[in-house]
Structure 1
Amino acid sequence: MKKLNLFTGAFCAAALLALSPVTHAQDATKWPEKPVRYIVPFSPGGVSDGVARLLAEQLSKQLGQSMIIENKPGVSGILGTQTVARSPADGYTIMGGTITTHAVNPFFVKSLSYDPVKDFTPVALVGMVSNALVVRADSPFNTVQDVIDAARAKPGALNYGTAGPGTSQHLSGQLFQSITKTTLQQISYKGGSQAMVDLIGGQIDLIFETVAAARPMIDSKRVKVLGVTSSTELADLPGVKPLAELGVPNFEMQSWQGVFAPAGTPQPVVDKLAHEVAVAVKMPEFAAKLRQLGVEPDGRGSKEFAAFQKAEVEKWRKVVQEAGIKAN
């Protein structure tokens, strides 16, 4: 009996040790031991998809394991994001998250199937994406102040195109209205490209479009750029000042691209992945490729990214509430 008790006790002790945080930490040092599933909650071809493919290729080299991209598009990125929230927190499912999926969706979607803060662990902030306020080439508006004056003279008469509720174009427009105390009409499209076509055709008055998407039209002089939504001038648009310096004080709207894992993913795995992302974005060649997509490299790690995400949620909560927008 004594031998049996000793054996049983040893077995239980071993079982407890296997479940302990120490063992998880030890296992995490070997991560990844198999391919990692990298979910993109948007269609192929967009900025999120481009960032994910660049990052997956580079991380595969650094980690010695494949990162397999899986596009799961759905309304405002909900389908793919929900999939990750419900995946095992073992480090083998991660995702590319954005301001839409992980900051503002709760304010636009009733009964959202995930909590963008509680259901995820922020891993790393890959980079920031700025928009440009553009009008068609023959528009009577030549300055940001021209737009503000026209909007104040006839509230609701001007309209702006977006790629849908909760997108960076929409948020830029809402913040613009909130600060300038104006009213613009949102015209929602299924994608930014159609909005640009209608802008050039005269069907809409203005767009807050991502710099990368607007750049070809700016270079061909089919549109005029009046300002950018970042807090400082952008290297890609030299001489174009931020809206904050052009009559819209304290304006700053930047979308972002980040990596998230399901809540409960072992911290050593999160830290290792965050470190590798930071290494990647600091590489000159990789950073140059990000900038070609309109993404300014960042590289903040888990704790800093988590604090940033929570601040973004609160910032846009106030903007949406002030605008009187109700979730649908």
Structure 2
Amino acid sequence: MTANRPTRRDLLQLGCATAFAGVPLLSRAASWPERPIRLVVPSAAGGSPDAVCRILTSELSRSLGQPLVVDNKPGAGGNIGMIDIVRAAPDGYTLGYGNVGTLAINKSLFKTLPYDPDRQLVPVALLGYVQNALVVRKELGVNSVQELIALAKSKPGALSVGSAGNGTTGHLSGELFKSMVGISMTHVPYRGSPQAIQDLMGGQVDLIFDNLSSISPHIKAGRLKVLAVTGAHRSALFPEIPTMAESGVVGYDVVAWGGIVAPAKTPAGVVAQVNGAINTILATPGIREKYAAIGFETLTGPPERLTERVARETPIWADVVKRSGAQVE
């Protein structure tokens, strides 16, 4: 027997079928997003990352034509939220907020990290950075960094320093401060800034290092005493407040940066679309003013800018962790 040879008509039909087989897939990709998008924030509602993300999501929802739902997942130094992000389907409907803690610090702070930020995530956009502030309860009776150092040295281990959680820049700001000036204080980690601030005002802890974006309303209201900001330059939000370096802790320089990430293998077209929308939003004067009001300084650029920031600061924070002796199981 001889096989029937395909006719010209058969070949034409096969070619057409092959050509149109990919049309539904292409249409689906081109029509993203078709439903609400979840933005996982690995910290508590009301904290600095939450405030940063909520300013962004209201505008990004309008740009993409779909709601963006903020999903707060605090705990374990941000690890709980990051696990949620890396395990999500890489279809563009789950994005996440990654920051200096979850993308850089945690690599050396935790003996075993339950996610791999370099392999299980892709960068979408670097949003910007915010300084921390060293703030004490008013009843502590100190008015400068040097007075705080003197008090801590007179009572080794007696003072308590709260933070938004293990691995946050608030935590490592305190550890770096202790190691640089040679004092001993007890670290008290919380599940986010709101609870830490509440306990500071209630007298349960003596001081905290916290992002200006979450602590600034309490500073402005006079409920707490701010001693210094942690960056290399004074904050435009509080130009009268000295830096840690100006206060005698020479070489001290800490800022908290953050950006948007997505699960690995998220389509490049989706990443590019979100990156472009975010850059447009961050360049808008009204949005820049909203961020400036909470002490957050915006940055724009391609996704790779976030990758470069992570690569540059990971060894810096590894050194801070090593010098301070900080470690989390």
What TM-score do the two structures reach when normalised by structure 1?
Answer: 0.83
Q: What corresponds to 1:250 in structure 2? A: 251
Establish whether residue 116 from structure 1 lines up as the match of residue 117 from structure 2.
Answer: yes
What does residue range 145-160 of structure 1 map to in structure 2 within 5 Å?
Answer: 145-152=146-153, 155-160=156-161
1:203 CA displacement: 4.8
Asked if structure 2 preserves the Cα contact closer than 8 Å seen for 1:36 and 1:67, the reply is yes
| Partner SS, residue 245 of structure 1 | coil
Establish whether residue 3 from structure 1 lines up as the match of residue 10 from structure 2.
Answer: no
Asked if structure 2 preserves the Cα contact closer than 8 Å seen for 1:117 and 1:310, the reply is no
1:220-275 Cα distance to aligned partner (Å, 9 max, x none): 43432211012211121122122122222222222223110112223332222112
1:121 CA displacement: 0.8
CA pair 49-143 structure 1, distance change in 2 beyond 3 A: closer
Alpha-carbon distance in structure 1 between the residues aligned to 2:47 and 2:212: 13
Q: What corresponds to 1:60 in structure 2? A: 61
Alpha-carbon distance in structure 1 between the residues aligned to 2:155 and 2:281: 49
CA pair 283-156 structure 1, distance change in 2 beyond 3 A: same
Asked if structure 2 preserves the Cα contact closer than 8 Å seen for 1:104 and 1:316, the reply is yes
1:198 CA displacement: 4.5
1:316 CA displacement: 1.5
1:30 CA displacement: 4.8
Give 1:56's aligned amino acid. T
Residue correspondences, number: 322
Give 2:6's aligned amino acid. K
1:193 CA displacement: 4.1
CA pair 29-81 structure 1, distance change in 2 beyond 3 A: same
1:155 CA displacement: 4.4
What does residue range 258-269 of structure 1 map to in structure 2 within 5 Å?
Answer: 258-269=259-270
CA pair 201-106 structure 1, distance change in 2 beyond 3 A: same
CA pair 164-44 structure 1, distance change in 2 beyond 3 A: closer
What does residue range 99-248 of structure 1 map to in structure 2 within 5 Å?
Answer: 99-152=100-153, 155-200=156-201, 202-248=203-249
Alpha-carbon distance in structure 1 between the residues aligned to 2:245 and 2:174: 14
What TM-score do the two structures reach when normalised by structure 2?
Answer: 0.83
Asked if structure 1 preserves the Cα contact closer than 8 Å seen for 2:44 and 2:193, the reply is no
Indicate the larger mover: 309-318 or 216-225: 216-225
| Partner SS, residue 249 of structure 1 | coil
Alpha-carbon distance in structure 1 between the residues aligned to 2:83 and 2:251: 34
1:77 CA displacement: 2.8
Alpha-carbon distance in structure 1 between the residues aligned to 2:239 and 2:156: 32
| Partner SS, residue 326 of structure 2 | coil
Alpha-carbon distance in structure 2 between the residues aligned to 1:259 and 1:110: 25
Q: What corresponds to 1:270 in structure 2? A: 271
Give 1:64's aligned amino acid. G
Indicate the larger mover: 105-114 or 219-228: 105-114
Alpha-carbon distance in structure 2 between the residues aligned to 1:135 and 1:118: 39
Q: Which runs of 5 or more residues in structure 1 are unaligned? A: none
| Partner SS, residue 98 of structure 2 | strand
Asked if structure 2 preserves the Cα contact closer than 8 Å seen for 1:228 and 1:241, the reply is yes
| Partner SS, residue 296 of structure 1 | strand
1:191 CA displacement: 4.2
CA pair 43-183 structure 1, distance change in 2 beyond 3 A: closer
Give 1:178's aligned amino acid. S
Alpha-carbon distance in structure 1 between the residues aligned to 2:308 and 2:108: 19
Q: Which runs of 5 or more residues in structure 2 are unaligned? A: none
Asked if structure 1 preserves the Cα contact closer than 8 Å seen for 2:175 and 2:326, the reply is no
Indicate the larger mover: 303-312 or 160-169: 160-169
Alpha-carbon distance in structure 1 between the residues aligned to 2:65 and 2:188: 46
1:56-105 Cα distance to aligned partner (Å, 9 max, x none): 22112122233333334443332332122122323222112222322223
What does residue range 303-322 of structure 1 map to in structure 2 within 5 Å?
Answer: 303-322=304-323
Identity of aligned residues (%): 38
- Output the aligned Cα RMSD: 3.3
Task: Please tell me whether Structure 1 or Structure 2 has the larger radius of gyration of its CA atoms.
Answer: 2
Q: What corresponds to 1:82 in structure 2? A: 83
Asked if structure 1 preserves the Cα contact closer than 8 Å seen for 2:109 and 2:167, the reply is yes
